[in-house]
Amino acid sequence: MNASNLQMKLSFKNRVVSQVGKFNRKHKYLSFLGIIYALVAITTYNFLFYFYRNGKRLTALACILLFFVSSSSFSYPAMSLNISFASNSAVDDVVLGTSRALSDKMVAESDAELVTETVDSTVLEQESSDINPDVAEIQSDNMATLNEILEGNVQSEQDEPGDSEDLIVDDLPTDAEDEVSFSSDDWKIVLVNKQHPIPENYHFDLGTISGNMRCDERIITPLLDMLKGARADGVNLIVCSPYRDMDRQTMLFTNKVKRYMDSGLSYMDSYNLSSQAVTVPGSSEHQIGLAVDIITDGYASLDEGFGDTAAGKWLAANSSKYGFILRYPKGKENITSIEYEPWHFRYVGVDAATVITDNDLCLEEFWNIYVD
C-alpha cells in the first residue's frame, strides 16, 4: 500500500471516529449505537478498499475460475475444448507423452466391429486385438459378404429383375441440381450428429442383411447393388457394423473413454478425444440404420489406409451412384467434428449423394445449402 492510499484509509477512519465521538457526547444513553455504526462503517470501508486496491488481481482470478467452470466436462461434457484434429499420433504424443507405438495402438481403435471372409480366424483375432479390441466380440454369423447376402434370407427380395438398374444413376442432367429439391422431412437425408441427436419420434423398420446384421430395410437393396457393382469391377466389399442399438453404442463410447483415462488423461480430455473417433451415444447414424462400415479382403483395418486401397478408391468414386456418401471426408473435420473415416458410408439417396459428391461437400454443408 502506497502512502496516498494509507493516508486515505486513515483519514476515513479518523472522520468516522470523530463523528461517533460527537454523537456519544450528545447522546450518552445511545453511545452503543455510535460504536456499532463505527464498526460497520470502518469494516465496510476496509472491505471495499481491499477490492479497489486489488481490482486487477481479483478480476484475473475471476476470469480463470469462470473459464474453468465453463469448460469443465462435468458442467457440459459434450463441449469441445478446442482440441485440434491433428494426426492421431501427434495428438497422443503431445497429450500422453508416450511412444509412437502406443499412440498408433490406441488411436487405431475404431468405433465399429470388423469382419473379414478371407483371413484365417486365429490370425484375425490376434491382429484385431492390436487394431480394434471390439473385433474380438465378432462372431462368424456377423460377417456380410456379397455371397452370404445372396445366399441369406434376403435373396428372394433382392434378386428381383430391374432393382439394380432402377437404382443406379450413371449420368444426371447438367441442370439436375437445379431441378431437384430436398426437404428436411426426407428420411434419406436426416441429419444426425452431436448437435442434432436422433429425434425422439424417429421411426424405421429393421431389415436383415445377413445373420445378426441389420439396417434400415429401405437401404438393403441399394447396398446389395453397390456390392454387386464393385464385384463386377473386380473389387470385393465386406459390410460390417451396420445398425447398433443404444446399449452397443454406449458400450463402445464408454470403452474408448476408459482407454484414454487408463493412459493418464482426465475424464474431460478423454471424453473429447473419444468423441472425435466414436460418435456420442444418441447421435450416431449407426443407431438409425443408415450407416455401414465397409472393408475389403486383404485389408482388415479400420483406419485411414483403407482410403488408399482399391476398395476405398472404388467407393469414393462410385458410392454416390447407389445413394451412399463418404460421411466423414478428409478436410471436413472441423465441420463434422469426426476424424477422417474412409470406411464409413451413409445412405442419403442418389440425388443427394450426387450433389454432395460432385460439390465436395459433407452432409452438414449440404443441409446448409440445399435443404429447405
Catalytic residue IDs: 341
Q: Three-class SS of residue 342?
A: strand
**Angle at the Cα of 342 from the Cα atoms of 371 and 174, rounded to 5 degrees:** 45
Q: Are 343 and 306 in contact (CB under 8 A)?
A: yes
Distance CA 292, CA 243 (A): 8
Local structure of 184: helix, strand or coil: coil
What is the enclosing helix (H) or strand (E) of 238?
strand 237-240
Is residue 277 exposed (0-12), middle (13-18) or buried (19+ Cβ within 10 Å)?
Answer: buried
What CA–CA distance (Å, rounded) separates 368 from 75? 30
Say if residues 185 and 242 touch (Cβ distance below 8 Å).
no
* Set of cell numbers at residue 82: 478446442
Evaluate whether 352 touches 196 at the Cβ level (below 8 Å): no
Calculate the CA dihedral of residues 155, 287, 312, 157 and round it to 10 degrees.
Answer: 10
